[in-house]
Structure 1
Amino acid sequence: MKFQPTINKIRSILSYKVFTLLIFVLLGLLLYGVLYSNVKPEKYDVNVFETSDVTIRSPKTITDGVLTEKKREEAAEEVPNQYTRQPDVVENRVSLINSIFEIIKEVKKPAAEDGQDGDSQAEGSAEEPTTEQKLDTLKAELTKNVNVRDSITQSIPDNVFKTLLTLTDEELNRVNTVVKSQVETTMSDKIYEEDLYTVYERLDTRLRALNLPSPMIDAAVALSRLAITPTEIFDKELTDEKKQEAMEKVSDEQIIEGEVIVQQGQMITHEDYRQLELLGLLSTETPIKPFIGLGIFVILAIGAIYYHFNNWDLPEERKQNRLILLSLIFVISLILMKIIALMKELDLDRVGFLFPAAMAGMLIRIMLNERIAMLMVMILAACGSIVFHYEITGSIDIEMAIYIMFSGLAGVLFLSSRKNRTNILQAGLFVSLVNVLIILFLLFLRGVSYSNMEYTYFVVYGFVSGIGAAVLTIGFLPFFEAGFGILTAMKLVELSNPNHPLLKKLLTEAPGTYHHSVMVANLAETACEAIGANGLLARVGCYYHDVGKTVRPRYFIENQMNAGNPHDHLPPDRSRDIIISHATDGAEMLRKYKLPKEFIDIAEQHHGTTLLKYFYYKALKEDEDIDEASYRYPGPKPRTKEAAVINIADSVEAAVRSMKNPNTDEIRKLVDNIVKDRLQDGQFNECDITLKELDTVKKTFCETLNGIFHSRIEYPEAKEKELAHES
């Protein structure tokens, strides 16, 4: 199947740049379309209190702000109120009690108690104040102190004051002592506002257990309750600070990627519904970020391929052919990914390990080059991490990315020799081994326990992936070689087989030409490798470059075998036509046998437009007005380095073979003259070979020819006969 005619038709409609841009756009759209379903978030049409038909997992790791705030509030509520102890509170309250009793004593004291004699007599005759008057005086004295006014006049009933005003000083002192003792004892412990009622009850119980008259007990109770106050004051600022610290210690509550939100068969609660809504898994909304992320990835992947091809030093037509080939291999790999990903429906764990990750890298390594093969392996690894996400849509699987990358790189690196298809199978075995090691590395690193049977499955997956990649590579290779006309090293090795019909025809009908072609092949391969050209292409191309001579083999000197030269009996123009026709006849024969275009180019270009000097000068003797151009090969001139080297090697081999016992200097001069003649004749004007490379070619030819035509030891005649007899 040939793709070239279809591609050429499209090129005839579009320019090269537009056609290339179209390829990249289509490749990007195709990549986006293939991965679209893998990043599209799954949506669920569920309601609260319904039973879920499927197990719903979180597709990403996300912070649950509502749950986090709830946890922080709970942590803050668990922080107890913070209190600060009042300094000198016991001493102050005891001083208050002492002050009250001192004022009471002052109010009870007679008015003339401290006066002079005259005054005493006058006061003695005055009336004693009543209890009510003393009570008013007492309240007036107590209210002078604003700080304690409210806590005294409002907290202590009037009957208590009246009782205290009727007591003697001794009884007042006794009550004072009891109250101060109870206050000091009670307030030695921590007392909180909310505990006052309990403290009062205990205090009452203790006081009423004393052996005191009931009025004195009531007074002691009232004064003690007045004096008892909280020793620990609520500190709002400190409490808020502690609550804030507790809230800050609570880490963000996260919904982890892969976490089960709703189990199959489980009823959906309000909390489940809220989390599904937070994750964007409800059918009520469609997030756009995953699709933007996929678009960025596609741009990066296509951009990397574009950058490589844009800087590839090849003609536009060849670059486009290779771009189409690369795109086709890429698409096939993506399709295989999708097919294998669908196998997860069979409940096969880690089925992605079956993917023949090395196939794309091996195919591109054989048909294009190692650099683009590694680039494609990395892009496929990224794609695989998206496709093989298993149950979590929109996520990536780093393990699969590592597996595909190492497997693909192993295929590229182990395929060091590309000359035999058996090398592909060998590389496949090495890839299988690498696959198994990578799988075991990933499984052991996760620390998950598997059964022996599961480990066996995983090992089989790795081997099937490696061998499958090799088999698919071998299967696709002829298809791509024929479809895109790409001449791989393996194809060249196959075409170098002497059993090929054209080579058999050349060997049997023109054995001298066959030997000449082999010698030219040796020279051309060595020289091409020395200048960085394709030595294998030059060698095999040389095998076929003179097949046109099989049409009239005896008209070429290497096939005449001392049978006489038929050109001696032909006019120069007839000889010219016969000699020149071998290039065009060879090209037609190669086309007939569907050999690669590179061989056809070599057959047409290996003489370029050089002049048939022998027959031209022969014709010139007969007609001085003869046109030189009519005795030149039709060309075209060599357009590749390989064709240029073969052009020189063909002439050099024929010229050296005509020399008798050539030495090193003669060979060097001959090679120099031939190269100089080709340069002066402009035969290399259409190819990119440099003068420095031509100098390397000359040196290589001389070294090779000196090895072939080296000096031999001359044996005595008797010795020669003896050797001949032994042989």
Structure 2
Amino acid sequence: MTEKLYCKKVKIMNSKYILYCIVTALIIVGIYQIVAVGRVNYPEYNLKEGQVSEVEIIAPFDFPVLKSPQELAAEKEQVLSQVDKPYEISEEPLFEAISNLDNIYAVLCSIEPTDDWEKIASDLKRAGYSFSPEALEFTLRSSLRDKIYESLRRELGTLYNQGIYESLEEDSILIWQNDNPEKRALSDFLPREKAKEILIDKFPEAKTFVSEFTEQYLKPNLLVNEEKLNELNQSSLQTVQPSEGMVLKNEVIVRKNSRVTEEEVRKLESLQEAYKRQKIRKSPLQEMFLSLGLLMFIFVVIFLANHYYGVQSKEEKIPVADFLPVNLGFIVLVILTVLSNFVLSGSNLIIPFAMIAIAGAILVNFEFGLLYSVCNILVISPFLNWETFTPVIMLLSTIICLLILRRQKVWHEYLMIWLYLLISLLVVIICLGIYKRDSIITIMRSIGYAFISASLSITGILLIVPYYEKKWNRATKQTLLELLDFNHPLLKRLATEAVGTYHHSLVVGNLAEHAAEAIGANPLLARVGSYYHDIGKIINPEIFTENNEDSGEIHSQIEPNESAQLIRNHVTEGIALAKKYKIPQPVIDIIMQHHGDMIIRYFYEKANKEGKELDANAYRYPGPRPQTKEAALVMLADIVESTTKAKEIESETDIAKIIDDTITYLLKEKQFDEAPISMKDLKIVKQSFIPVLESIYRKRLDYPEAQKDE
């Protein structure tokens, strides 16, 4: 049965979905070319320290071994520390000191003679010069004031000509004057504090004024010549060599099957830099073959996912547009990988890899989720520079999470999905961290990234799954539970317009649900399918016996083929109603398949007895035959319930015989040929039907009269 079903589904595949695969592969390879500019033009060596090389790498030409950035920085720092700073005796501090002295005396000379030191200090402060009143006592005598002015001016020039410095500890310094360097002892110059003492000692009569003046305006004039220092630094840096040693042509850089060392990694990095400096690019033919190879690789992976999706689909004919989300999943994950790896330059562990695979498992099935996760990791590997550990963490944690979800059956409990995904990530990260001997800080950082990844994944699942469940009309647990509500418009119509059919459907639902539980089918889908399988009878309820005991009179007035047409119309009318009310496709499939393609035997035999010209197809249900266990169970429960209700049931044996006869008839009519149900399943179904039917239809025992009186 299953082999025929597989062949049938393979036939519905057509070449249009392959176009999606090609376009998706082209988009992904195009993105790779865009983000990999400057990387794909040169040979790439992706070996890391400690990794075992699978190939032997030989130098194609002579090239220098570059020093690491840390080594270069240390050497430059050492060279710069050895450069003698060039000093010069600047004239600017002397000019500023003399200017300030002239301005102060200009203010003092403009003030009318007074004994009020406070007023003199206040006038100077308004001019921008701050002195204590005590420091201005000497200004009361104009001759002393002028004498100090001339002497102080002269002494400032003498001190500045000798040179004043501050905070120097060297024994000697380099004086660069008029492009002539001269090494001179530091003792040739005056420290600022010493210069202040000299000036103060020379003017005892104005000691406070000179002390406050030098504190504010005596600045060092032995200063670093910044321009010359830059020249000397640049000249010294040129002595630092960016490389050390050479790798000669045909020299073995890395040997096959050997562990790569830090020195060999540096040689490989130096070789790639040498390619860039010499502008040795891959030839156009090489680039074409590389791009073509990547395109073929991506296409094969994408085709595998699309083909499996088409083969396993339960739909009789798959719209080509339904393949679009499968391919969009690849593109979305590639874009997220590019954002993480090339734009944000962060850890690739934050990529919400599990989002696409888990969404695929929820929307399609567990097996598709597994395949989709493997295909996705293969597609994004080029964007991860074919790294090993991050893809292993992504893939293994996703597979573990999918296995837990299948076992726990929590496909729509999103908080639990997030928790299981986070636990899966933590287990894999900690195990690999221990294996790689990562530090605690590194492992904790990876755990933080895992938390972000799991949160992003569940957010994406919350957006993707409900949208496509609604778009694809999926029979989710929540949707099916809503359909069991007796306030649903269709069930309310059935209960009021076709009461007999309504009660019949409830019993069929009870039978099908128990049987589904017994053989491992979906009991919720079986019950919902049973409730809605005869929904089309609300269009003409009076022509069905369970709703109208006099329905025979209606059929006696029309031809048998017309009666058969009216009876079988309840299937097509039920499908139309279900689509109108947006009933999920699996329930519609049960409505469509619950009579299979059986002949409406009563009216067929009636036409035969009346000698009518017989066309079997005119008396046959439209089908198809049941394609799932749930549809097969509803078909069997439907017939068994109707037959049992129409007969007098005296014992369990009567019920068992009805079930056996029904199963035999359906097998003879080949109604189960396309359903994945076995003879073992049918035996279990029989045993689950009997107690339900016995409790409903078995004739009550007659009690003795005496017992009644009691």
| TM-score normalised over the length of structure 1 | 0.56
Q: CA deviation at 1:426?
A: 0.8
> Does structure 2 conserve the Cα–Cα contact (< 8 Å) formed by 1:362 and 1:412?
yes
1:436 aligns with 2:423: no
Among 540, 550, 554, the alignment partner of 1:565 is 550
Cα deviation 1:10-33 (Å, max 9, x = unaligned)? xxxx99543243233223323322
Among 9, 22, 26, the alignment partner of 1:25 is 22
Q: Distance in 2 between matches of 1:718 and 1:341?
A: 90
User: Which residue of the partner structure matches residue 341 of structure 2?
Assistant: 341
Change in Cα spacing, 1:310 to 1:423, as seen in structure 2 (3 Å) is same
Aligned partner letter, 2:370:
M
User: Which residue of the partner structure matches residue 595 of structure 2?
Assistant: 607
Q: Distance in 2 between matches of 1:368 and 1:704?
A: 31
Q: CA deviation at 1:611?
A: 4.5
User: Structure 1 stretch 352-361 or stretch 489-498: which is displaced more?
Assistant: 489-498
Among 357, 365, 369, the alignment partner of 1:361 is 357
Q: Distance in 2 between matches of 1:523 and 1:280?
A: 75
Cα deviation 1:232-259 (Å, max 9, x = unaligned)? xxxxxxxxxxxxxxx9999999765589
Larger radius of gyration between Structure 1 and Structure 2:
1
User: Which residue of the partner structure matches residue 671 of structure 2?
Assistant: 684
1:413 aligns with 2:403: yes
Aligned partner letter, 1:24:
C
1:705 aligns with 2:690: yes
User: Which residue of the partner structure matches residue 373 of structure 2?
Assistant: 377
Change in Cα spacing, 1:677 to 1:21, as seen in structure 2 (3 Å) is same
> Which residues in structure 2 correspond to 1:573-722 (within 5 Å)?
573=558, 579-614=567-602, 623-625=610-612, 627=614, 629=616, 632-638=619-625, 640-642=627-629, 643-680=631-668, 682=669, 684=671, 688-689=674-675, 693=678, 696-697=681-682, 700-709=685-694
User: Structure 1 stretch 396-405 or stretch 657-666: which is displaced more?
Assistant: 657-666
> Does structure 1 conserve the Cα–Cα contact (< 8 Å) formed by 2:571 and 2:592?
yes
Q: CA deviation at 1:481?
A: 3.0
> Which residues in structure 2 correspond to 1:59-98 (within 5 Å)?
66=62
Q: CA deviation at 1:361?
A: 1.7
Change in Cα spacing, 1:381 to 1:552, as seen in structure 2 (3 Å) is same
Structure 2 unaligned regions, length at least 5: 1-10, 49-56, 67-250
User: Which residue of the partner structure matches residue 508 of structure 2?
Assistant: 520
Q: CA deviation at 1:472?
A: 1.8
User: Which residue of the partner structure matches residue 3 of structure 1?
Assistant: none
Q: CA deviation at 1:709?
A: 0.8
Three-state SS of the structure 2 residue aligned to 1:709 is helix
Cα deviation 1:354-383 (Å, max 9, x = unaligned)? 222211221221233333322322233344
User: Which residue of the partner structure matches residue 397 of structure 1?
Assistant: 387
> Does structure 2 conserve the Cα–Cα contact (< 8 Å) formed by 1:421 and 1:490?
no
Among 535, 551, 565, the alignment partner of 1:547 is 535
Change in Cα spacing, 1:699 to 1:721, as seen in structure 2 (3 Å) is farther
User: Which residue of the partner structure matches residue 91 of structure 1?
Assistant: none
Aligned partner letter, 2:451:
F
Change in Cα spacing, 1:721 to 1:616, as seen in structure 2 (3 Å) is farther
> Does structure 2 conserve the Cα–Cα contact (< 8 Å) formed by 1:607 and 1:647?
yes
Change in Cα spacing, 1:518 to 1:537, as seen in structure 2 (3 Å) is same
Q: Distance in 2 between matches of 1:614 and 1:276?
A: 84
Q: Distance in 1 between matches of 2:252 and 2:553?
A: 109
> Does structure 2 conserve the Cα–Cα contact (< 8 Å) formed by 1:361 and 1:408?
yes
Q: CA deviation at 1:417?
A: 6.1
User: Which residue of the partner structure matches residue 90 of structure 2?
Assistant: none
Q: Distance in 1 between matches of 2:12 and 2:551?
A: 52
User: Which residue of the partner structure matches residue 469 of structure 2?
Assistant: 481
Q: CA deviation at 1:651?
A: 1.0
> Does structure 2 conserve the Cα–Cα contact (< 8 Å) formed by 1:59 and 1:257?
no
Change in Cα spacing, 1:544 to 1:15, as seen in structure 2 (3 Å) is closer
Q: Distance in 2 between matches of 1:37 and 1:255?
A: 32
Q: Distance in 2 between matches of 1:43 and 1:250?
A: 21
Q: Distance in 1 between matches of 2:17 and 2:412?
A: 35
> Which residues in structure 2 correspond to 1:500-519 (within 5 Å)?
500-519=488-507
Q: Distance in 2 between matches of 1:255 and 1:414?
A: 45
Change in Cα spacing, 1:297 to 1:520, as seen in structure 2 (3 Å) is farther
Cα deviation 1:604-633 (Å, max 9, x = unaligned)? 332345454555667778x55375759725
Q: Distance in 1 between matches of 2:415 and 2:367?
A: 22
Q: CA deviation at 1:404?
A: 1.1
> Does structure 1 conserve the Cα–Cα contact (< 8 Å) formed by 2:628 and 2:675?
yes
User: Structure 1 stretch 426-435 or stretch 516-525: which is displaced more?
Assistant: 516-525
Q: CA deviation at 1:546?
A: 0.9
Among 272, 281, 288, the alignment partner of 1:285 is 281
Change in Cα spacing, 1:611 to 1:464, as seen in structure 2 (3 Å) is same
> Does structure 1 conserve the Cα–Cα contact (< 8 Å) formed by 2:655 and 2:693?
no
Aligned partner letter, 1:596:
P
Change in Cα spacing, 1:530 to 1:448, as seen in structure 2 (3 Å) is closer
Change in Cα spacing, 1:255 to 1:286, as seen in structure 2 (3 Å) is farther
Q: Distance in 1 between matches of 2:339 and 2:264?
A: 29
Q: CA deviation at 1:550?
A: 2.5
Q: Distance in 1 between matches of 2:21 and 2:487?
A: 43
> Which residues in structure 2 correspond to 1:233-252 (within 5 Å)?
none
> Does structure 2 conserve the Cα–Cα contact (< 8 Å) formed by 1:58 and 1:258?
no
| TM-score normalised over the length of structure 2 | 0.57
Aligned partner letter, 2:377:
A
> Does structure 2 conserve the Cα–Cα contact (< 8 Å) formed by 1:58 and 1:260?
yes
Q: CA deviation at 1:653?
A: 1.4
Change in Cα spacing, 1:427 to 1:593, as seen in structure 2 (3 Å) is same
> Which residues in structure 2 correspond to 1:462-473 (within 5 Å)?
462-473=450-461
Cα deviation 1:301-326 (Å, max 9, x = unaligned)? 54355457667466894496765443
Q: CA deviation at 1:413?
A: 1.5
> Does structure 2 conserve the Cα–Cα contact (< 8 Å) formed by 1:411 and 1:428?
no
Change in Cα spacing, 1:458 to 1:510, as seen in structure 2 (3 Å) is farther
Three-state SS of the structure 2 residue aligned to 1:594 is coil
Structure 1 unaligned regions, length at least 5: 1-13, 46-56, 71-246, 262-273, 390-394, 723-727
Change in Cα spacing, 1:248 to 1:491, as seen in structure 2 (3 Å) is closer
